[in-house]
Homo-oligomer: A and B are copies of this chain.
């Protein structure tokens, strides 16, 4: 059995980065990740990207970024699975090393939202939902999440401030992440007074679209350079599951099957149970997604996921710390880079480099990248060896 380890991590600051383009963002993250690995030489590149063909008028990112990073000649391709594109690239990179196909794989997630503005961004995002049955009705991922949240609140009698804990936790943690888009804690009253985007979803229930790039270098453990000084972090579990794009095709809209199945499969590969997971990086594109992931995976029973946020259980010192570096909400949502940011942040925790936000003694981190309302869910368990 091959031990696939994350030998290098790199990330750019997340935000509205008007001064830097897609390829240069990718280059910066790659350079940092390769340097962090001690200078390993990647033989294959897997790019996680969600919307560049629409937002940046640029497809064919595999060859483009390989060349830009000085790696022209290696194998390179783009993975797309909507918001889970970063998770998909991570998974293919993992499989490339695990299968023995390559010794060193490079995974880069990159997105440049600010290449377009306003309705063009909405139109691009709408391509990730079912165009024939959802987008054509004018439904955007945000309005869909609002419907989901309203149904949830109705079904489980959730009060108006029920979801506030997700935003409060994310922003408190983002305050200590120098790469986060928002580095400022917020108060409950800020959440309560926030502008409604699509009732009952307010602006703090939504992760901000942002620019950013994150990269990881993967290799077999025995190929780590002798100069490599970090604790070793292994990808111990990896799984990807799909579901319908259209919500109306689900048996139960308020249960994210794929979140359960992919996390369960990944944990089974490691041979651990839920109580051994030290922290969880969920895909909090919308606060309702976070609640539903917590329930599907089993951290809370159905209808009680929001309580983990309200009770502080997802805080850094809580039962199951989540969004430890700010999550999508405060670190920002750089589309197809998000799943790779999760990996970078989890490695930071497992190496003990998370500073103020460090989860003491963290050994297992679960990260989960979603495409749409868990139409795709890709889960990885990262382990400090």
Residues of A at under 8 Å CB distance from B? 21, 23, 45, 50-51, 53-54, 56-64, 66-67, 71-82, 88, 92, 95-96, 98-101, 123-124, 126-132, 135, 239-245, 249, 257-258, 261, 371-372, 375-376
A375 touches B242 (CB 8 A): no
B95 touches A82 (CB 8 A): no
Given A63-B371, A81-B63: A131 in contact with B58 (beta carbons within 8 A): yes
B128 touches A244 (CB 8 A): no
Give CA–CA (A128, B81) in the complex, Å. Answer: 19
**Residue among B57, B74, B375 making CB contact with A127, cutoff 8 Å:** B57
Give CA–CA (A249, B67) in the complex, Å. Answer: 10
A371 touches B80 (CB 8 A): no
Give CA–CA (A328, B86) in the complex, Å. Answer: 32
A103 to chain B, nearest CB (A): 15
Q: Which residues from B are CB-within-8-Å of A126?
A: 57
**Residue among B53, B242, B249 making CB contact with A53, cutoff 8 Å:** B53
Q: Which residues from B are CB-within-8-Å of A376?
A: 60, 62-63, 76-77
A82 touches B53 (CB 8 A): no
12 further interface pairs, Cβ-Cβ under 8 Å (given A51-B53, A60-B372, A63-B371): A45-B242, A60-B127, A62-B80, A63-B242, A63-B245, A63-B372, A74-B242, A76-B240, A77-B79, A77-B81, A78-B80, A98-B99
Residue of B nearest to A49 (CB): B80
A311 to chain B, nearest CB (A): 33
Q: Which residues from B are CB-within-8-Å of A243?
A: 63, 67, 72-73
**Residue among B54, B58, B75, B131 making CB contact with A242, cutoff 8 Å:** B75
Q: Which residues from B are CB-within-8-Å of A77?
A: 79-81, 88, 92, 240, 376
A72 touches B131 (CB 8 A): no
Contacts A/B (CB < 8 Å), 8 sampled: A50-B59, A53-B53, A53-B124, A63-B242, A67-B243, A73-B257, A76-B81, A99-B101
B249 touches A132 (CB 8 A): no
Give CA–CA (A57, B132) in the complex, Å. Answer: 9
Q: Which residues from B are CB-within-8-Å of A54?
A: 53-54
Give CA–CA (A101, B128) in the complex, Å. Answer: 27
A171 to chain B, nearest CB (A): 29
Residue of B nearest to A372 (CB): B60
Q: Which residues from B are CB-within-8-Å of A21?
A: 132
B127 touches A58 (CB 8 A): yes
Given A80-B60, A99-B95: A242 in contact with B67 (beta carbons within 8 A): yes
B242 touches A62 (CB 8 A): yes
**Residue among B64, B71, B92 making CB contact with A245, cutoff 8 Å:** B64
Give CA–CA (A330, B50) in the complex, Å. Answer: 33
A57 to chain B, nearest CB (A): 5
